[in-house]
């Protein structure tokens, strides 16, 4: 089994785990971690595609590599925005539940007009 | 099976095991720790896939900076964990989710494994056209020349994420300092490392930016390293994060996309096309843009980790 | 140095620079507004809007003159190595309507997002104007992008600009809504990304035109198509993936809701259209298209019924957005050429795009008037709207005209769109979608009439307004509503594949009877399902009628509460996540099954 095949299977499994975690874990922070897992798994697929495209004395096709670097930065900024939202939600509502019908415990509401 | 293949299989199995632990761990703190290890192992995978630029980025951003971000959040959100246990979906839902996720993952695996041979590639095209920029690193060529617009747009995405994070402040704290004021024992390990490491880190970062022209490296990796050094210094309390209203800070934040845009418009007005570089000055132009980008990326990534304004004055 | 590929349109066309400017101008103003800050952010934004509108009009003029799409090769690099921006008729009309709506929202929002006297800078105005400009730039990139990965980056920019708009006022419910929106939208983009990489792995290019020539029905391609489509559906909030939309659009400030409902959801919808019509017209198969439209029909039913049951005006309008999004997806099965297995870019495509455009302007006007009413009354309870028709006549008129435009009253764009879609349904002999299209109009009419009935009812005591409402804001809402009502009169043939002779005489019997259906049917539905206070019902209808309507209404309410129950279940995160996975599997199966 070549590296591409092994890591291709690994990435699909990681993506599946990320999907599972994103759906099942109720805490937003765990969802964010699962999303990062899903994202990194998918980036490995980029790597597999790049490795398969080795040619012209290059070990891997540079285009998917560049796409992944862009994607990683975007994923990090998404994580940062999501984490900031979670922290602010906790500050405002006292809990981080995403369940709209659950009663939120009273928390400080620091927003002023 | 060769040694390399065996190692790769072991690495893949280890990664999956850690991924399972990250999802299944009870405490968020443990999950984040697992995630950081996962990121570092993934960097090894990228090296095996002959994508060293990506490995550097994954280690710096995926493992390092994301880990810091999530650890900080996990620490502040410890109080919510007990509440969350009550909200876990029941067994049937979890089983259904597991089966469906497994099916989608299987479909994805089939899609990847059934990719046609021989694989189509743009590597030869990239190698042939490398003379246009004079850079030896094909990934940098793609990022800064062939698909430069994606990189420019992505800088704007970074900036917008920061604007989004800042907009979460409360009104009366607007313009203040992001995040809590960190204090560390001046004689402790953290303060010691924050004095020792940053000079080394800055040199390494600048080197990676410079070397990225012909070897693995580049603006993103360098920016991440510089951001990490800045965060280290901030967390040890040796310096404070600048306030959101600072004009100089904002100028630094738009330096990267701004320089990129100006060069692009120069190409549109005076050259052949938007973001086209004249062959003679391609390398200096690209390096100049990358330098501005590194500064912006470093500051943006650092501020993204620091968070929304939480303090009015320097206390 | 262009790469010497035998690319099919490997040349920048004259006038192509306009395409670059449409993206560069908003992006540059984002950077300038960020640095200048304070009051300058608003001024920079308002100065950019006429400029952007001029560029959009210039593109339309250039298209009409040359008759061919505008192409620009970024950096001079030819795809597949480089990226191309392409403006065809679809892009041009979407960009024009985006410029119009953003301009209107900018004028409308001046009063809400003003830096208060005595401060150098305030949070909400700073964030709002920058986010508005960023939404604009991202949308233009979505409409012009010719490369799947560029579209991904543009989609992410759109999401990052839209999410903070939701929680701009800082309340806990809006923060929760924003977080839910962000996480679900990220899930959608990641699925889109995995589809894109599989396309690259199979064909070695991400360029839309090149892909369309190379694509074939391999299993990997179909898996990728299914993943991409469902990812985009999650971002467009098509039923059952709509969990994030109602609280997000209802909780945002009025100007932000106008942009979110009118424009942001159209971005991912546009990419679905590009994917299905331009990249892989022969691939998905009729089964997958029927599935899309079936989801759309369910969205119409669920969205409209739950809208009728709402107590708050902004939530009603948000649910109506859900229904209208579903309506957009009815165009897919009827776009298959008669007898062929390919999606044809003809009347159905034009109908769908026209519907998207009409909805953009009409929904923006609706949210604007709802915002004005909320500001004036201090609440937006539908039951408490009596007398507002007299107190805020212009706002209510704007709402009425926008609602009429959505219902399909000629000569609105929705009327023309409905005509085109019905004709396509008849041609492809799919009468059931013709029924769905007509039903869509009736459902739309029901909640519009419900709100208007409440608003026009005379109040017991005269309505006192909390604040005096800005005349400029009211006028903007009215102008936008008039725009949506008159869209059917524009000559769309130069930009959209409108084959039928556009409606020139709106007063023919056929036209009027088609327009009457939504009103009559909608009225009946509103009576059966809407929330009426006891007194208004008796006053409006009289005792005898109430006796007849009573039992029918009880039955309707039982059905209505069943639908509400299902909707509430689907809006819980685990259920929505599971539906997403189920949809991926179903679409994959439908597409693969069509090939075997």
Residue ranges per structural domain of chain A: 3-93
Residue C2: which pLDDT band, with cuts at 50, 70 and 90? Answer: very low
pLDDT in tens, C109-143: 998 898 888 888 889 999 999 999 999 999 999 99
Cβ distance C185 to C267 under 8 Å?
A: no
List the 55-84 stretch of C: residues with Cβ below 8 A of B: 72-77, 80-83
Whether the CB of C180 is below 8 Å from some CB of chain A: the reply is yes
Cβ distance C170 to C258 under 8 Å?
A: no
Q: Which residues of C touch B265 (CB under 8 A)?
A: 24
* From A25, A53, A102, residue closest to B121, measured CB to CB: A53
pLDDT score at A102: 53
Considering only CA atoms, which of C157, C170, C181 is closest in space to residue C30?
Answer: C157
Whether the CB of B161 is below 8 Å from some CB of chain C: the reply is yes
Distance from CA of C190 to the nearest CA of A (A): 7
Say which DSSP state B313 is in: S
List chains adjacent to chain C, taking adjacency as at least 3 C-beta pairs closer than 8 Å: A, B
Whether the CB of A93 is below 8 Å from some CB of chain C: the reply is yes
Whether the CB of C163 is below 8 Å from some CB of chain B: the reply is yes
Residue A107: which pLDDT band, with cuts at 50, 70 and 90? Answer: very low
Quote the CA–CA distance of C373 and C365 in Å, as a whole number. 12
ipTM of the complex: 0.96
Distance from CA of A35 to the nearest CA of B (A): 11
- In a 10 Å sphere around its CB, with 0-12 CB exposed, 13-18 middle and 19+ buried, how is residue B181 labelled? middle
Whether the CB of A85 is below 8 Å from some CB of chain C: the reply is yes
pTM for the predicted model, two decimal places: 0.95
Q: Which residues of C touch A26 (CB under 8 A)?
A: 573
Residue C537: which pLDDT band, with cuts at 50, 70 and 90? Answer: low
Evaluate if residue C247 carries a pLDDT over 50: yes
Q: Which residues of C touch B152 (CB under 8 A)?
A: 27
Mutate one of A22, A83, A93, A110 to test the C interface: name it (highest C CB count within 10 A): A22
Would you tell me the crossing angle of helices C573-595 and C172-203 to the nearest 10 degrees? 20
How many CA atoms, within 13 angstroms, populate the side-chain half-sphere of residue C498?
Answer: 25
Average pLDDT of span C472-483: 93
* From C12, C194, C219, residue closest to B110, measured CB to CB: C219
Considering only CA atoms, which of C334, C384, C360, C327 is closest in space to residue C139?
Answer: C360
The stretches of B49-90 forming alpha helices (DSSP H) are 52-57, 66-76, 81-86
**Contacts (Cβ under 8 Å, ≥6 apart) of C379:** none
Evaluate if residue C500 carries a pLDDT over 60: no
- In a 10 Å sphere around its CB, with 0-12 CB exposed, 13-18 middle and 19+ buried, how is residue C53 labelled? middle
Cβ distance B43 to B66 under 8 Å?
A: no
Distance from CA of C288 to the nearest CA of A (A): 23
Q: A3-93 in CATH: which number?
A: 1.10.287
Q: Which residues of C touch B175 (CB under 8 A)?
A: 120-121
Q: Taking every pair of C-alpha atoms in chain C, what is the biggest distance, in angstroms?
A: 82
Evaluate if residue A103 carries a pLDDT over 60: no
Is the Cβ pair C81, B129 closer than 8 Å? yes
* Chain center to CA of C166: 16
Residue C475: which pLDDT band, with cuts at 50, 70 and 90? Answer: very high
pLDDT in tens, C425-465: 988 888 899 999 989 989 999 999 999 988 888 877 777 78
Neighbours of C124 (CB within 10 A): 18
Evaluate if residue C324 carries a pLDDT over 90: yes
Quote the CA–CA distance of C234 and C245 in Å, as a whole number. 10
Is the Cβ pair C75, B251 closer than 8 Å? no
Whether the CB of A45 is below 8 Å from some CB of chain C: the reply is yes
Collapsing DSSP to helix, strand or coil, B75 comes out as helix
* From C131, C204, C585, residue closest to B120, measured CB to CB: C204
Say which DSSP state C16 is in: T
* Domain boundaries along the sequence of chain B: 1-77, 132-315
Q: Which residues of B touch A52 (CB under 8 A)?
A: 115, 119, 121
Distance from CA of C587 to the nearest CA of B (A): 11
Collapsing DSSP to helix, strand or coil, B187 comes out as coil
* From C163, C187, C193, residue closest to A71, measured CB to CB: C193
Whether the CB of C577 is below 8 Å from some CB of chain A: the reply is yes
Average pLDDT of span C215-229: 93
pLDDT score at C534: 55
Whether the CB of B248 is below 8 Å from some CB of chain C: the reply is no
Distance from CA of A105 to the nearest CA of C (A): 11
Bond into C230 cis (ω within 30) = no
Strand partners, C207: C147
Question: ∠ at Cα C34 (C30, C37), nearest 5°?
Answer: 130
Considering only CA atoms, which of B34, B68, B61, B31 is closest in space to residue B46?
Answer: B61
Average pLDDT of span C566-573: 92
Residue B172: which pLDDT band, with cuts at 50, 70 and 90? Answer: confident
Is the Cβ pair C194, B108 closer than 8 Å? yes
Is the Cβ pair B146, C75 closer than 8 Å? yes
* From A32, A86, A89, residue closest to C172, measured CB to CB: A89
Is the Cβ pair A62, B70 closer than 8 Å? no
Considering only CA atoms, which of C113, C239, C117, C244 is closest in space to residue C168?
Answer: C113
Whether the CB of C573 is below 8 Å from some CB of chain A: the reply is yes
Considering only CA atoms, which of B158, B144, B169 is closest in space to residue C30?
Answer: B158
DSSP C486-555: HGGGS-GGGTS---S-----TTSHHHHHHHHHHHHHHHHHHHHHS---HHHHHHHH-HHHHHHHHHHHHH
Is the Cβ pair B62, A111 closer than 8 Å? no
Name the percent of chain C lying above pLDDT 70: 93
Quote the CA–CA distance of C3 and C59 in Å, as a whole number. 27
Cα B230 to Cα B201, B238, B313, C322: the distances in Å are 10, 10, 20, 45
Whether the CB of B125 is below 8 Å from some CB of chain C: the reply is yes
Evaluate if residue C3 carries a pLDDT over 70: no
Is the Cβ pair B87, A56 closer than 8 Å? no
Average pLDDT of span C311-334: 94
pLDDT in tens, A47-81: 999 999 888 788 889 999 999 999 999 999 999 99
Residue C532: which pLDDT band, with cuts at 50, 70 and 90? Answer: confident
Is the Cβ pair C194, A45 closer than 8 Å? yes
- 3-state SS of A67-110 is HHHHHHHHHHHHHHHHHHHHHHHHHHHCCCCCCCCCCCCCCCCC
pLDDT in tens, B77-103: 887 777 767 777 888 999 999 999 999
Residue C9: which pLDDT band, with cuts at 50, 70 and 90? Answer: low
Closest chain C CA to residue A35: C187
Distance from CA of C16 to the nearest CA of B (A): 10
Collapsing DSSP to helix, strand or coil, A58 comes out as strand
The stretches of C67-171 forming alpha helices (DSSP H) are 89-109, 123-144, 148-166
Is the Cβ pair C197, A67 closer than 8 Å? yes
pLDDT in tens, B255-304: 999 999 999 999 988 888 899 988 888 899 999 999 999 999 999 999 99
Average pLDDT of span C530-534: 70
Whether the CB of A35 is below 8 Å from some CB of chain C: the reply is yes
Quote the CA–CA distance of C461 and B254 in Å, as a whole number. 56
List chains adjacent to chain A, taking adjacency as at least 3 C-beta pairs closer than 8 Å: B, C
Whether the CB of B267 is below 8 Å from some CB of chain C: the reply is yes
**Contacts (Cβ under 8 Å, ≥6 apart) of B23:** A17, A18, A20, A21, A25, A34, A37, B31
Closest chain B CA to residue A27: B84
């Amino acid at each position: 089994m070549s590296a591409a095949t092994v890591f291709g299977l690994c990435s699909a499994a990681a993506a599946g785990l990320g999907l599972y975690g994103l759906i099942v874990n109720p805490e937003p922070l765990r969802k964010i971690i699962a999303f990062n897992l899903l994202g990194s798994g998918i980036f490995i697929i980029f790597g597999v595609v790049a490795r398969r495209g080795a040619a012209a004395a290059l070990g891997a096709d540079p285009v998917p590599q560049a796409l992944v670097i862009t994607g990683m930065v975007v994923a990090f900024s998404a994580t940062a925005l999501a984490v900031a939202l979670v922290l602010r939600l906790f500050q405002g509502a006292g809990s981080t539940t995403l369940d709209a019908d659950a009663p939120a415990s009273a928390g400080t509401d620091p927003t002023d007009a | 099976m060769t040694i390399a293949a065996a190692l790769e299989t072991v690495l893949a199995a280890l990664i999956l095991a850690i991924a399972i632990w990250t999802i299944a761990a009870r405490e968020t703190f443990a999950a984040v720790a697992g995630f950081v290890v996962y990121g570092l192992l993934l960097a090894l995978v990228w090296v095996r896939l002959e994508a060293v630029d990506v490995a550097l980025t994954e280690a710096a951003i995926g493992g390092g900076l994301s880990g810091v971000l999530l650890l900080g959040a996990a620490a502040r959100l410890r109080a919510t964990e007990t509440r969350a246990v009550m909200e876990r979906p029941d067994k049937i839902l979890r089983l259904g989710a597991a089966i469906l996720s497994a099916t989608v993952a299987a479909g994805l695996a089939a899609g990847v494994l059934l990719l046609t041979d021989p694989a189509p590639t743009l590597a030869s095209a990239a190698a042939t056209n490398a003379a246009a920029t004079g850079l030896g690193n094909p990934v940098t060529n793609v990022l800064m020349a062939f698909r430069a617009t994606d990189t420019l747009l992505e800088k704007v995405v970074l900036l917008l994420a920061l604007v989004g994070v800042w907009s979460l402040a409360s009104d009366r704290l607007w313009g203040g300092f992001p995040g809590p004021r960190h204090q560390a024992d001046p004689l402790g390990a953290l303060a010691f490392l924050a004095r020792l490491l940053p000079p080394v880190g800055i040199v390494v970062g600048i080197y990676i930016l410079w070397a990225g022209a012909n070897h693995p490296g580049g603006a993103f990796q360098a920016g991440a390293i510089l951001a990490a050094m800045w965060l280290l210094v901030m967390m040890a309390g040796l310096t404070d994060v600048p306030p959101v209203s600072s004009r100089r800070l904002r100028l630094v934040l738009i330096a990267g996309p701004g320089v990129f845009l100006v060069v692009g418009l120069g190409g549109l007005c005076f050259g052949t096309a938007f973001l086209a570089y004249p062959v003679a000055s391609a390398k200096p132009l690209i390096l100049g843009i990358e330098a501005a980008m590194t500064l912006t990326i470093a500051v943006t990534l650092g501020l993204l980790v620091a968070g929304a304004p939480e303090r009015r004055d320097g206390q | 140095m262009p790469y010497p590929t035998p690319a099919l349109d490997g040349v920048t066309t004259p006038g192509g620079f306009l395409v670059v400017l449409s993206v560069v101008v908003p992006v540059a103003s984002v950077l300038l507004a960020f640095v200048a800050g304070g009051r300058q952010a608003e001024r920079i934004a308002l100065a950019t809007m006429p400029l952007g509108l001029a560029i959009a009009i210039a593109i339309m003029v250039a298209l009409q003159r040359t008759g061919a799409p505008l192409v620009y090769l970024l950096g001079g690099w030819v795809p597949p190595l480089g990226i191309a921006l392409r403006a065809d008729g679809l892009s041009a009309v979407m960009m024009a309507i985006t410029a119009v709506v953003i301009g209107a929202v900018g004028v409308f929002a001046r009063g809400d997002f003003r830096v208060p006297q005595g401060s150098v800078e305030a949070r909400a105005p700073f964030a709002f104007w920058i986010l508005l400009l960023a939404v604009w730039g991202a949308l233009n990139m979505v409409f012009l992008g010719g490369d799947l990965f560029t579209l991904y980056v543009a989609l992410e920019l759109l999401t990052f600009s839209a999410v903070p708009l939701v929680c701009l006022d800082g309340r806990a419910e809006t923060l929760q809504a924003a977080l839910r929106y962000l996480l679900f939208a990220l899930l959608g983009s990641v699925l889109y990304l995995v589809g894109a990489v599989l396309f690259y792995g199979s064909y070695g290019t991400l360029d839309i035109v090149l892909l369309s020539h190379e694509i074939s029905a391999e299993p990997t391609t179909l898996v990728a198509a299914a993943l991409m489509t469902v990812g985009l559906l999650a971002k467009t909030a098509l039923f059952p993936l709509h969990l994030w939309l109602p609280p997000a659009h209802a909780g945002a400030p009025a100007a932000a809701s106008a942009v979110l409902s009118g424009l942001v959801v159209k971005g991912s919808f546009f990419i679905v259209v590009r994917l299905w019509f331009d990249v892989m017209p022969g691939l998905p198969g009729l089964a997958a298209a029927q599935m899309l439209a079936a989801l759309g029909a369910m969205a119409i039913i669920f969205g409209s019924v739950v809208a009728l049951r709402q107590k708050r005006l902004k939530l009603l309008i948000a649910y109506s957005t859900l229904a209208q999004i579903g309506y957009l997806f009815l165009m897919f099965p009827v776009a298959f050429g008669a007898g062929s297995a390919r999606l044809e870019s003809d009347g159905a495509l034009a109908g769908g795009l026209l519907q998207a455009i009409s909805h953009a302007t009409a929904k923006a006007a609706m949210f604007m008037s709802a915002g004005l009413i909320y500001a004036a009354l201090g609440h937006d309870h539908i039951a408490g709207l009596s007398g507002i028709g007299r107190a805020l006549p212009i706002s209510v008129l704007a709402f009425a005209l926008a609602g009429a435009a959505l219902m399909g009253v000629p000569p609105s764009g929705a009327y023309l769109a409905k005509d085109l879609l019905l004709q396509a349904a008849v041609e492809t002999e799919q009468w059931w979608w013709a029924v769905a299209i007509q039903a869509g109009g009736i459902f739309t009419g029901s909640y519009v009439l419900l709100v208007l009935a409440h608003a026009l009812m005379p109040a017991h005591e005269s309505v006192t307004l909390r604040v005096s409402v800005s005349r400029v804001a009211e006028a903007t809402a009215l102008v936008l509503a008039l725009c949506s009502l008159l869209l059917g009169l524009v000559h769309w043939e130069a930009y959209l594949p409108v084959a039928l002779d556009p409606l020139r005489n709106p007063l023919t019997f056929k036209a009027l009877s088609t327009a009457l259906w939504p009103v009559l049917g909608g009225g009946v539905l509103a009576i059966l399902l809407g929330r009426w206070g006891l007194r208004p019902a008796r006053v409006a209808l009289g005792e005898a009628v109430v006796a007849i309507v009573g039992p029918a209404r009880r039955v309707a309410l039982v059905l209505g509460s069943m639908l509400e129950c299902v909707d509430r279940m689907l809006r819980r995160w685990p259920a929505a996540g599971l539906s997403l996975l189920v949809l991926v599997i179903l679409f994959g199966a439908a597409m693969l099954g069509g090939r075997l």
